[in-house]
């Protein structure tokens, strides 16, 4: 497969050849339509002037005069009425002047050989060194009729200026071609680097930085590619961590279930121990079930481009119902509850939003010690609805606070194991809030409590 650089060179060469051909054809047409006739007339005036000068000066030395004219850059071919011919200047490349043309001029007429030359190429027409490509005029010398045929000697007309101009054009063409090749290489090198980087990304090698510093479209493409690579690298890291975390979170309860199930096979096991082991198995089974449900929910949120089934519902009633579900836990931990809830009708997905309130309220209940307090606020503004869940629990440290929305992340793993947490709840909360176009913020201090604030835009 030909490289882009090779294609550019071939295309540049083709453009130069095509443009040169078109320019040549255009000049050729212009020569035949306008310049050929003018060139014929101009040389005819010169031929008539020479013939007139000879006739007006009877004592003129014809040989010397015609030799002098040829030295000035002309080829002259003179034929007398006795058919004696003589050439002044360098010989013609082709001697093809017809007898008819000679007779025509000897009979007193003029010969327009340049103007009547068949329409061929510009080079053939203007530079054709043929005796037929001349102009003819009659004159009388020494009482005898003569025919004078004249054309410029092209080689003599080419002076140092013409060579300088021709060399300048050639040098310009060469420099232009080399400059285009350098520009092409400069343009293609970044594309080559991008191609190599793309192959690495295809092989899941997301490391490395593109050394492309440009401000044009290629530079923008390189920046976008670099950002994409960094995002893919981050996603790859998250994916691997996710797989590792899922494996760990499934492996731990499965090992517990397997171990206690083997203990239950002992026929001499006391009844109290049997019930205790069965209780652990049931607890681990429920934990696996909860983990599976939350993973399925996260999968549905990730895969569906628009998973929401929006409808208008009473958001305040949904919050109150969520609190009622966990009233028993409030009473068990002797906790106080304060609710300041406005009546709010909101358009959203009630099923997904219910998961948000359940996770936030349940976290506040789990991580608040006996005798603590929970405050729930619902306020409605012109453009948004705000839900705040505040507790007086154990709080979250600054280092853990930035990662609490990461999947499977637990600020205190041993504590979470005791409460049956999976590390997925807050990830689900954040995903649902984002799908509704909202934001969630958290403020917390160790030993003082945590406040979650959810802001949902009104449609």
DSSP character string of 95-129: ----HHHHHHHHTT--EETTTTS----HHHHHH--
* DSSP assigned state of 421: -
pLDDT exceeds cutoff 90 at 305:
no
How many of the other CB atoms lie within 10 Å of CB of 139?
A: 21
Phi, psi of 319 (to 5 degrees): -65, -45
Strands, E, within 285-438: which ranges? 311-314, 336-341, 345-348, 373-380, 384-391
Q: What's the pLDDT score for residue 176?
A: 80
- Rounded Cα distance, 266 and 218, in Å: 72
- pLDDT on residue 1: 41
pLDDT surpasses 60 at 420: no
Instruction: Tell me which residue of 76, 143, 133, 140 sits closest to 108, measured CA to CA.
Output: 140
Task: Give the helix/strand (H/E) hosting 244.
Answer: helix 217-264
**Mean pLDDT: which of 205-214, 300-309, 386-395 is highest?**
386-395
pTM above 0.75, yes or no: no
**The pLDDT of residue 105 is above 50:** yes
- HEC string of 382-409 equals CCEEEEEEEECCCCCCHHHHCCCCCCCC
β-sheet bridge partners, residue 130: 94
Residue 306 vs residues 171, 290, 309, 349: alpha-carbon distances, Å:
64, 24, 8, 11
User: Taking 90 as the threshold, does the pLDDT of residue 27 lie above it?
Assistant: no
| Mean pLDDT taken over the chain | 82
Helix (H, G, I), strand (E, B) or coil at 366: helix
SS3 436: coil
pLDDT in tens, 127-146: 778 899 999 999 999 889 99
Locate 374 and state its tokens: 């929970």
**What DSSP state is assigned to residue 306?**
S
- In terms of Cα–Cα distance, which of 363, 360, 356 is closest to 308? 356
Asked whether 119 and 32 are in contact (CB, 8 A), the reply is yes
Mean of the pLDDT values across residues 27-31? 78
Element (H, E) at 341: strand 336-341
Q: Decide the pairing of beta strands 373-380 and 336-341.
A: parallel
- Dihedral sign computed on CA atoms, order 272, 276, 282, 286: positive
441 three-state secondary structure: strand
Reported as a pLDDT band with limits 50, 70 and 90, residue 80 is very high
DSSP state of 375: E
Residue 3 has pLDDT above 90, yes or no: no
The top-scoring range by mean pLDDT among 121-125, 156-160, 284-288, 343-347 is 343-347
Cα gap 373→335, rounded to integer Å: 5
Cα 83 to chain center, whole Å? 79
Cα–Cα nearest to 435, from 303, 329, 312 = 303
Rounded to an integer, what distance in angstroms lies between the CA atom of residue 456 and that of residue 458? 7
């Amino acid at each position: 497969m030909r490289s882009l650089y090779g294609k550019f060179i071939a295309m540049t060469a083709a453009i130069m050849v095509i443009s040169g051909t078109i320019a040549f054809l255009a000049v050729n047409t212009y020569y035949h339509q306008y310049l050929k006739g003018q060139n014929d007339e101009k040389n005819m005036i010169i031929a008539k002037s020479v013939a007139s000068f000879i006739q007006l000066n009877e004592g003129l030395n014809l040989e010397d005069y015609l030799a002098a004219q040829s030295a000035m850059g002309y080829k002259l071919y003179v034929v007398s009425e006795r058919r004696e011919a003589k050439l002044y200047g360098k010989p013609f490349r082709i001697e093809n002047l017809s007898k008819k043309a000679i007779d025509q001029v000897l009979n007193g007429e003029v010969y327009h050989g340049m103007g009547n030359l068949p329409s061929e190429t510009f080079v053939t027409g203007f530079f054709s060194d043929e005796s037929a490509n001349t102009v003819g005029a009659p004159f009388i010398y020494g009482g005898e009729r003569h025919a004078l045929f004249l054309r410029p000697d092209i080689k003599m007309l080419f002076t140092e200026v013409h060579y300088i101009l021709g060399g300048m054009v050639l040098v310009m063409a060469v420099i232009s071609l080399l400059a285009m090749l350098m520009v092409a290489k400069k343009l293609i090198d970044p594309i080559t680097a991008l191609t190599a980087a793309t192959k690495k990304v295809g092989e899941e090698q997301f490391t490395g930085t593109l050394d492309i510093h440009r401000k044009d479209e290629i530079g923008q493409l390189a920046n976008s590619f670099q950002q994409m690579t960094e995002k893919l690298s981050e996603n790859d890291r998250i994916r691997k961590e996710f797989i590792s975390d899922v494996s760990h979170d499934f492996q731990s309860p499965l090992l517990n279930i397997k171990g206690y199930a083997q203990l239950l096979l002992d026929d001499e096991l006391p009844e109290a121990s049997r019930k205790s082991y069965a209780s652990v198995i049931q607890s681990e089974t429920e934990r696996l079930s909860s983990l599976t449900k939350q993973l399925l929910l996260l999968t549905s949120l990730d895969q569906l481009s628009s998973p929401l089934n929006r409808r208008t519902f009473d958001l305040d009633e949904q919050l109150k119902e969520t609190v009622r579900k966990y009233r028993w836990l409030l009473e068990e931990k002797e906790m106080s509850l304060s609710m300041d809830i406005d009546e709010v009708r909101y358009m959203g997905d009630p099923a997904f939003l219910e998961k948000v309130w359940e996770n936030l309220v349940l976290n506040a209940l789990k991580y608040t010690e006996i005798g603590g307090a929970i405050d729930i606020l619902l306020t409605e503004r012109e453009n948004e609805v705000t839900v705040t869940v505040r507790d007086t629990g154990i709080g979250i440290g600054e280092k853990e606070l930035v990662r609490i929305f990461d999947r499977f992340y637990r600020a205190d793993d041993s504590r979470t194991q005791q409460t049956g947490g999976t590390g997925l709840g807050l990830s689900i909360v954040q995903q649902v809030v984002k799908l509704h176009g909202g934001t969630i913020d958290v403020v917390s201090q160790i030993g003082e409590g945590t406040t979650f604030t959810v802001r949902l835009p009104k449609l």
